[in-house]
Amino acid sequence: MGSSFEDLLGRANKLRQELELFTQHVRSTHRSTTPLSQVGAKLSSLKGDLEIEVDFLKREQGKQRPASSGHEAPPPSKGPSGSNLLFFETLWDIAKRSTDIFDLRHRVCVEQVKKQILAPGKRIVPTLGTQMGSKFRHALVDLITDGGSTWVKISTITNRRLLFDLAKEAVFCGDSEDEDAHGYSIDDNLDIPLLKLAKELAQAASNHRIRTKTPTVRLVLPRIRRNENNEVDRIVDICGGAGVVVLCSNDLAPPPDLSTKLMDIMYPDPQASFSTTLNIDTSVIVALTSDFSHFSVEKQDWFDRQRIAHCDQETKEHFLTEQVYPLIGNHDLVCVREAVDTYKHIVNTIGTQTEKARAKLILNDDASKSPDQLAEGLRALSEHQVPSSLRLPIITVDSNKDGCQKDLDTVAKRVLETQLNPGRSVFSFGWAARLTTITCNGVATKQLAHGLEKFQNLDDTAWPSIWACSSSRPLLGVPKASKSKKHIGDCGTNGCTCGVESSLQSRKERTE
């Protein structure tokens, strides 16, 4: 018995080591987006539960040792069969066979809803989907993979337990091949927990849609083998008939060995799918030239709430060095003419002198300067390091370059109708030219995703490649010209009595 506990503890330690390696991989490939990745936090919770299981195994192992002289014997052990390690191992084995893991232990609504709701997953950008309130009944899905398209639920129920549940219902298939005469079906209201679980998961999947389709549910039963008991096989088949894919222990292939290559499949770096050339949105050019991004801006009396908020945000996170530069480095950069013209109008109207100077460097108004000279010029106008991987300038292109717009299908054109220019030109060009678009406009990205979700059974290739940064930076700009208020009466001699000074002081206090 002691060796069995030693075996379990050895397996648990191996699992613990692999989970830690995967956690490090997730952290190293994390890129700031909206919402932040769920996997990292859920892995921490999973590792905590595994530690509890290890402690349980150690306590049970101690109960196997005989009591020493003069000491009371420990309470009897539950034995290795009391361990829940198989659940953790099965979850991890399934994860190692999966691609694009999106979440672990996610609650989904199992009550029938009037209208399909958005499932958690990647639809242009990651989203947690529609969150239903606590008044709705939910079930826990152990693993969400394929970017949200597949849900995995693990049940460690045994043949013995399933037969016991059948006996309580007094229903058996018997050995007859005539199932209609001696069996039962999906339509029978059987009080069997496994069958109820399958029906609930199937209902939950039908409630949701991810990239215009219903998620696939996989129900994994690691303690049940097919073709060993007719009654058990019948229930397994009925569970499959409920609308889930049932996988028993003899349906599961051995898990692959953990490696860097495998972890790249399990949790891919989002940048790995970026196009070689990136399509840059106006919002990113604004961030690249903003004084907020390059300097520690002191709050001014004339700042509105938005500017004050960006001052605070930049103090906590250097937007360019932590988000933008890592994303666009080592890529050629382009921007459509409509967006460039709009940006130039904005910066020439409200931009500071340093913002105007950066604009000329970023967009290369001086064709005589080399990329290295442009980067050096940008470094001179920034407190932060400008990486050598940044390829300047951003090249201005026609939104119908090489006649690419003819490749946009009807679905894309209809969805793009919700966008105003220059955003429409930016997104349509990236979509048509099959380039990854980098934007700070999360609202527009969500509008495109929701627009596409209104269609039915779209192929994954119909979805555009867009990366939405989790934050943005506006131009600092200059204060609006305003008429100076004049004092009424002889305020210069006796002090202000007309209220102008108190008004200015109140305004200053509001901005501090």
Answer yes or no: are the C-beta atoms of 287 and 293 closer than 8 Å: yes
Cis peptide before 256 (omega within 30 of 0): no
The answer to whether residue 261 is domain-embedded is no
Would you call 44 helix, strand, or coil by DSSP? helix
Banded model confidence at residue 2, pLDDT cuts 50, 70, 90: very low
Token pair 């894919």: residue: 245
| pLDDT over threshold 50, residue 9 | yes
Answer yes or no: are the C-beta atoms of 437 and 464 closer than 8 Å: yes
Share of the chain above pLDDT 90, in %: 66
Cα–Cα distance between 311 and 307 in angstroms, integer? 6
| Co-location of 228 and 344 in the same domain | no
Quote the pLDDT of residue 1: 40
Per-residue pLDDT, averaged over 64-73, amounts to 56
Quote the pLDDT of residue 504: 57
- The helix (H) or strand (E) run that includes residue 439 is strand 436-439
| Co-location of 124 and 237 in the same domain | yes
Domain that holds residue 172: 98-252
Angle at 208 between CA 203 and CA 210, to 5 degrees: 140
| Co-location of 234 and 307 in the same domain | no
* Cβ within 8 Å of residue 146, ≥6 positions away: 98, 99, 100, 102
Banded model confidence at residue 3, pLDDT cuts 50, 70, 90: very low
The answer to whether residue 473 is domain-embedded is no
Share of the chain above pLDDT 70, in %: 84
| pLDDT over threshold 80, residue 510 | no
Q: pLDDT tens digit string along 86-100?
A: 999 999 999 999 999
| Co-location of 48 and 135 in the same domain | no
Cα–Cα distance between 95 and 100 in angstroms, integer? 10
| Co-location of 222 and 279 in the same domain | no
Q: Which two tokens stand for residue 175?
A: 């050995």
Quote the pLDDT of residue 39: 84
| Co-location of 88 and 103 in the same domain | no
Mean pLDDT, all residues of the chain:
87
Per DSSP, 38 falls in state S
What is the side-by-side order of every strand in the sheet holding 436-439?
Answer: 395-397, 332-336, 277-280, 436-439, 466-468
Per-residue pLDDT, averaged over 382-402, amounts to 96
The answer to whether residue 129 is domain-embedded is yes
Look at the alpha carbons of 472, 420, 335, 373 in this order and tell me if their dihedral is positive or negative: negative
Q: How many domains does the chain have?
A: 4
Quote the pLDDT of residue 506: 56
Answer yes or no: are the C-beta atoms of 303 and 511 closer than 8 Å: yes
| pLDDT over threshold 60, residue 387 | yes
Quote the pLDDT of residue 482: 55
Q: pLDDT tens digit string along 395-433?
A: 999 999 999 999 999 999 999 999 999 999 999 999 999
Instruction: Report the range of poorest mean pLDDT among 142-156, 168-182, 286-300, 387-401.
Output: 168-182
Task: Give exposure, 262-301, as e/b (b: 16+ Cβ within 10 Å).
Answer: bbeebbeebbeebeebbbbbbbbbbbbbbbbbbbebeeee
How many residues make up the chain in this entry? Answer: 512
Quote the pLDDT of residue 390: 96
Quote the pLDDT of residue 185: 63
| Co-location of 350 and 442 in the same domain | yes
| Co-location of 428 and 495 in the same domain | no
| Co-location of 423 and 305 in the same domain | yes
Quote the pLDDT of residue 500: 52
Work out whether strand 138-145 and strand 103-109 pair parallel, antiparallel, or are unpaired.
antiparallel
Quote the pLDDT of residue 187: 60
Instruction: Report the range of poorest mean pLDDT among 2-6, 249-253, 393-397, 460-464.
Output: 2-6
Answer yes or no: are the C-beta atoms of 194 and 157 closer than 8 Å: yes
